Structure 1
Amino acid sequence: MGDDILLDTKIFTFLKVAEFKNYTKAATSLNLTQPAVTQHIRKLEEYYNCKLIDIVGKSINLTEEGEALYNYANFQVANEKQLIGRLKSIETPLKVGATLSIADYYLPSYLNLYMGNSNELFSLTVKNTKSIIEMLMNNELYCAFIEGIFDKSLFNFYEFCNTKFTPVARKGHPLDGKESDLSEFHNYPLILREVGSGTREIFENYLYQNNDSILSFNKIFEISSFGIIKKVLKNSDAISFMYEEVAKREVELGELSYLSLKGYSIERPLYFIYPCNSLMKERNEEFYRNITL
């Protein structure tokens, strides 16, 4: 007998024969011919220098040595699966998604802390809410930080933080410093994110609940970048709606202002989510725990 013990295909053949107590069924399960299965068992018996299987008529039973090998092999298979899983967790980054507002204005401080305290690798994909949800459902992402509306029956979720969703315009805008009716907002160009973004969906929902729509506004512009949106706001009379943190720096610098809208108050949770049926549940949960320490 050799000094090295390798978990090879002959071991798996032996386990299948022990499971089915039938060479033909074992062969079918392994997509092998029956003579190949017989040869695998013979090679193992030669290697271990003992009889592993007793065949009496149509009855197939393990010998005492066969029982010992069966128990040992099952432990080895289980250990190898754990090892493979561990190696995959080390080598394969956790695939994380984030919507634009969260990725640019909320997540960096959490990620900086996480990267200093954890060895878990991750890759971050930034897209709008609709795209992130689709990627999660297609298993292209394992978990995500999102805003906006999603089907809570399909995902496990945690409220990542709460933030105000507010109208923003340039400092000195005609509506700056006064409490305005929604109808007064209609007189100015409106800048929105693209269809599928969480912020747009929240704003359109608000308008719908107030028997209004974006069609009431003077002009509508779609811009997918908050950086560009804020630059346009600084140099025009356009208005936009965004999370408070997104415009915080420009407001503190006196370049932009939060506008006041009568009867308007929206505070929204930002979520960490992953699919309910995810095989990555433990890694996702650990990632969330570590990132919110």
Structure 2
Amino acid sequence: MLDQKLFTFLKVAQLKNYTKAAKELHLTQPAVTQQIKKLEDHYGCQLFDIKGKSVNLTPQGEALYHYAKFQVANENQLIDQLKKYETPIKIGATLSIADYYLPPYLSKYIKNYDELISVTVQNTQTIIDMLLNNELYCAFIEGIFDKSIFQYYQFNQTKFLPVARKGHPLEGLNLELSDIHKYPLILREKGSGTREIYENFLYQNNDTLASANKIYEINSFGILKNLLGNSDAISFMYEEVAREEVENGELCFLSINHYSIERPLYFIYPKNSLLKNRIERFYQRLMN
């Protein structure tokens, strides 16, 4: 950090007036005079030639002026360089959110704000563990979390729907849950928010995963949707995850009687976080 006296010296040299320099620097004129005097004592020479209201640099002052300008340029260059190594804000996101909901928000954020970000994609349980271990600052998740230890905001709301290939034997029918069990089921891995939602739905209907004909665990939506399109398997996912394939006529949403699940998507961070102000500022900017 450059000595404030050099900035004061530069301002006086540029304005050729102690009073105007003091006003721009929000200092008193005696304070400006004192800073210049300390510089002259340090370098052992007179920096300004003052005659009446005329304030001009001496030859020694000219030399210091060029030196100080060079140092300010170096300082600004250093600050720009250090910003490249600034610790990014470490964000977690579940797979559904990271791939299908978050990109538009982050694209606008990166365009409008000069702040480094780092995004880690994991299932809900892993993300929560990383938040509690201070490996992440904040996260976008679905699923269940302890609201007593996390500050949270709902940033989206989405439907959670049964999905199958276009032309599936169950397409267009009013189904019972038992009809779904006759076909292979594709789910995300244990710990994922979407799997937890489906298991809770089964529990509320006095049912379990044991009723399924067969269960495949796939943690990639790309592979999962490809398998759906080439088999009679069924899966459950957020509406946005399958939207493109449904619109293209590759997949379809099934209709189960008395089935209606809408889920909030949350932005969360630990309530005791020392980075609360930075996290709050990030979220407000992201949503605006």
- The TM-score normalised by the length of structure 1 is 0.70
> How far has the Cα of 1:89 moved from its partner?
11
Q: Does 1:114 align with 2:124?
A: no
User: Structure 1 residues 90 and 117, CA, compared in 2 at 3 Å: closer, same or farther?
Assistant: farther
User: Structure 1 residues 89 and 272, CA, compared in 2 at 3 Å: closer, same or farther?
Assistant: farther
* Count of paired positions: 209
Task: Measure the CA separation in 2 of the matches of 1:148 and 1:176.
Answer: 28
How high is the sequence identity, in percent, across the aligned residues? 69
> How far has the Cα of 1:160 moved from its partner?
1.0
> How far has the Cα of 1:104 moved from its partner?
0.3
Q: 1:184 aligns with which of 179, 182, 190?
A: 179
Counterpart residue type for residue 127 of structure 1: Q
**Structure 1 alignment gaps of length 5 or more:** 6-86
User: Structure 1 residues 89 and 146, CA, compared in 2 at 3 Å: closer, same or farther?
Assistant: farther
Q: 1:197 aligns with which of 178, 192, 196?
A: 192
Residues 52-201 of structure 1: pairs in structure 2 closer than 5 A: 91-201=86-196
Task: Measure the CA separation in 2 of the matches of 1:88 and 1:165.
Answer: 41
Task: Measure the CA separation in 2 of the matches of 1:222 and 1:210.
Answer: 22
Residues 219-258 of structure 1: pairs in structure 2 closer than 5 A: 219-258=214-253
Task: Measure the CA separation in 1 of the matches of 2:271 and 2:192.
Answer: 23
Cα deviation per residue 1:220-246 (whole Å; 9 max; x = unaligned)?
Answer: 010000111000000000000000000
Q: Tell me the SS of whatever aligns to 2:109.
A: helix
1:263 maps to 258
Task: Measure the CA separation in 2 of the matches of 1:138 and 1:94.
Answer: 15
Cα deviation per residue 1:227-269 (whole Å; 9 max; x = unaligned)?
Answer: 1100000000000000000000000000000000110000000
Root mean square deviation, CA, Å: 1.6
Task: Measure the CA separation in 2 of the matches of 1:213 and 1:229.
Answer: 21
> How far has the Cα of 1:170 moved from its partner?
0.2
> Runs of at least 4 residues of structure 1 off by over 2 A?
87-90
> How far has the Cα of 1:88 moved from its partner?
8.9
Cα deviation per residue 1:148-185 (whole Å; 9 max; x = unaligned)?
Answer: 11111110000010000000000010111111000011
Task: Measure the CA separation in 1 of the matches of 2:192 and 2:207.
Answer: 19
Task: Measure the CA separation in 1 of the matches of 2:162 and 2:286.
Answer: 30
Task: Measure the CA separation in 2 of the matches of 1:202 and 1:149.
Answer: 9
Q: Say whether the 8 Å CA contact 1:179–1:260 is kept in structure 2.
A: yes
Task: Measure the CA separation in 2 of the matches of 1:208 and 1:89.
Answer: 50
Counterpart residue type for residue 245 of structure 1: E
Task: Measure the CA separation in 2 of the matches of 1:90 and 1:290.
Answer: 22
**Structure 2 alignment gaps of length 5 or more:** 5-81
Q: 2:211 aligns with which of 212, 216, 220?
A: 216
User: Structure 1 residues 88 and 209, CA, compared in 2 at 3 Å: closer, same or farther?
Assistant: farther
